[in-house]
A and B are shown apart, each in its own frame.
Chain A
Amino acid sequence: MSKIAAAIVGSGNIGTDLMFKLQRSARLDLRWMVGIDPSSDGLRTARAHGLVTYSDGVKTLLSGPDAPQIVFEATSAAVHLANAPLYAAAGIRAVDLTPAAIGPFAVPSVTTQEVRLAPNVNMTTCGGQATIPIVAAVSRVCRVEYGEIVSSIASQSAGPGTRANIDEFTRTTARAIQRVGGAERGKAIIILNPVEPPMMMRATVFCSIPPDSSTEEVTSSITAMEATVREYVPGYRLKAAPQFDEPDSRWGGVGRVTVLIEVEGSGDYLPKYAGNLDIMTSAAVRVGEIIAEELSGEVAA
């Protein structure tokens, strides 16, 4: 199996954690890491792991004779908005881990043909990666009029970007609950908890279900989805069996299923409690591999 050449743009915590994960990929050949500060911890770590590093943004990366086929963007929304046209002009596929959300949302366990083919895909949010697969698992067996998620992360794992744009999280995640999760209406809530020692990432999914839904069918769909997500996020697990509530007039006569999720990080570069960051980088690797399959297929054809 030939590997697809890949680069990471953005040498912060996310980019560095992503590097460790991409280096284990059988489909992607990570060769470059791009930052802005040559003495940054991320670029030093990358050099120590044999990557070619540039500290002038994407300029040199894109001007060389040897360019990546996939770029993972772990900078900021503003930087990605500037870089995205350059990638597109160079025919490079982009996996966007920023909130820029130019392309369609990519959640690996719910991947669509659109994601396989789009020049640019967006990884939604950490809370979205943890919960949308479950919303999709419910909506593939019954109508979900309304899907709601609550994502609790350790304050220690919330960087300045997240903090400055908390509305972006709620809006983007709510949109993705609908578009990818298949709920007719979506809502997202994010909570930061500063407790010491830091809490593991937690997420809860609430979906409305019709009064006549089969709880067995919903449960088995959710359990199957848990297994699918665990293939690329080993620390992902349901804390308990799905909880079903009887239809309630306060909910407009629908029933409810509640799914309690915990995400433990793999501890590659970031602490294990930061499951919110781990699930983003793990999912990005998986999306990159799906795109690599597609690109390899094109080459073979």
Chain B
Amino acid sequence: MTAKTAPDAIRITDSTLRDGSHALSHRIRVEQVQAVVTALDASGVQVIEVTHGDGLGGSSFNFGFSEVDEIDLVRSAAETAAHAKIACLLIPGIGTVDDLKAAHDAGASVVRIATHCTEADISEEHFKAAQALNLETVGFLMMSHRIGPDELARQARIMVDSGARCVYVVDSAGALTLQGTEDRVGGVAAEIGGQAQVGFHGHQNLGLGVANSVVAYGAGARQIDGCLIGLGAGAGNSPTEVLVAVFDRLGIATGIALQPILAAAEEVVRPMAIRDPFMDRGAIVQGYYGVYSSFLLHAERAAARYNVPLHKILQRAGEAGYVGGQEDMIIDVAVSMRQPAEVG
């Protein structure tokens, strides 16, 4: 008779106060941060991400201005949390090492450094700086559906060699289906396993965020992202409270207690949502055509402003292959669809 060993535990990072920033148009206030962090911390969540939706330095015309300076939000989160670590997102090209230092000084202890999935080599200076600050380092390969497992593994290797202790397969467009998730997470795990962990960040545009997270676990992921009530870009993220319930049923420890996390979702976050994350036409088109999830609200504004159908803007953005950060191109697409093509 062999002794049964418990399956590996996972660490869930809650991104309500970062990816959820998109769904709130970056209008997050200090008292909201305090309420969410208090509830997550009491539930046993170990890592709480707090940043503008587009990462440090994201407050801008292009992405939308933060109502409250994100560094103040990070400080407030760090002061509120009794146990949880506070994480920040940094997208090189948007935020800089200076922003990272400010976040560190405000109490962040984890940094997640994100690049488009083919551009990992632009993150090296940021990983080095993060290590010098003694921050826990996580790499984020965005829009992972755009390349296959082998290329993704090569990019993950670049991040690990630069200092990442975990690399996430990030389904920014909510475009991955089950096999696609399994292949990519498996490919990355085969390359970096033993040296670094693998994570998975899902979106619900095609309704598969939670299912993909379970598949990712099976393929080797040990860090999984969620947001309370799924509050996040596009149709939202894998809901943290659903992840907790599902992994509990699967006998996989998350360290998070179910009843408190359900209360956090229902009583703390649902009342603050301007809109419930939902798989509407725009979001499904995003998943289907592989459009960066945070384009959704920008495209809604452009659709209204230029009187162009939302789903057509998003489809065009997907076909053009725009990547995260190119929110300005939504205006370009809407303007060009409104104007007849120039002659000549």
Contact = CB atoms under 8 A, between A and B. Distances in A.
Given A206-B61, A243-B331, 4 more contacts: A199-B320, A206-B60, A239-B335, A260-B328
A239 B338 CA distance: 13
User: Counting chain A CB atoms within 10 Å of each CB, which of B65, B126, B328 scores highest?
Assistant: B328
A38 to B, nearest CB: 29
Interface residues of A, number: 33
B70 to A, nearest CB: 14
A170 B64 CA distance: 18
Interface of A: 146, 148, 150, 152, 155, 163-167, 169-171, 187, 189-195, 199, 202, 204, 206, 239-240, 243, 250-251, 256, 258, 260
Contact of A190 (B65, B93, B322, B335): B93
Interface in B282-322: 320-322
Given A171-B96, A250-B64, A191 B326 contact: yes
A170 B93 contact: yes
Interface stretch (B116-124, B131-139, B190-198, B239-247): B116-124
B97 interface: yes
Contacts of B322: 193
Contact of A192 (B64, B97, B119, B327): B119
B125 interface: yes
Interface of B: 57, 60-62, 64-65, 92-94, 96-98, 116, 118-119, 121-122, 124-126, 146, 320-329, 331-332, 335-336, 339
Contact of B96 (A146, A150, A167, A251): A167
A223 to B, nearest CB: 16
25 contacts: A146-B61, A148-B60, A152-B328, A152-B329, A163-B119, A164-B121, A166-B122, A167-B97, A170-B93, A171-B96, A187-B57, A189-B60, A189-B62, A191-B93, A191-B326, A192-B323, A194-B116, A204-B328, A206-B61, A206-B328, A239-B332, A240-B335, A258-B328, A258-B331, A260-B332
B325 to A, nearest CB: 4
A195 B321 contact: yes
A195 B64 CA distance: 25
A187 B94 CA distance: 9
B331 A148 contact: no
A166 B93 contact: yes
B175 to A, nearest CB: 15
A189 B146 CA distance: 22
B323 A193 contact: yes
Contacts of A199: 320-321
A172 B244 CA distance: 45
Contacts of B324: 191
User: Counting chain A CB atoms within 10 Å of each CB, which of B64, B322, B336 scores highest?
Assistant: B322
B119 A194 contact: yes
Given A164-B125, A170-B96, A260-B331, A193 B326 contact: yes
Contacts of A166: 92-93, 122, 125
Contacts of A239: 332, 335-336
B163 to A, nearest CB: 14
B3 to A, nearest CB: 49
Contacts of A206: 60-62, 328
A206 B328 CA distance: 9
B61 A193 contact: no
A260 B306 CA distance: 15
Given A150-B328, A251-B65, A192 B60 contact: no
User: Counting chain B CB atoms within 10 Å of each CB, which of A166, A194, A204 scores highest?
Assistant: A166
User: Counting chain A CB atoms within 10 Å of each CB, which of B122, B124, B321, B329 scores highest?
Assistant: B122
Contacts of B126: 167
Given A155-B119, A166-B92, A189-B94, A256 B61 contact: yes
Nearest to A193: B323
A258 B65 CA distance: 16
A146 B325 CA distance: 19
A191 B62 CA distance: 12
A264 to B, nearest CB: 15
A176 to B, nearest CB: 16
A144 B328 CA distance: 19
Contacts of B65: 250-251
A175 B152 CA distance: 35
B321 A187 contact: no
Contacts of A202: 326, 328-329, 332
Nearest to A239: B332
Contacts of A187: 57, 60
Contact of A191 (B96, B323, B336): B323
Nearest to B118: A194
Contacts of B332: 202, 204, 239-240, 260
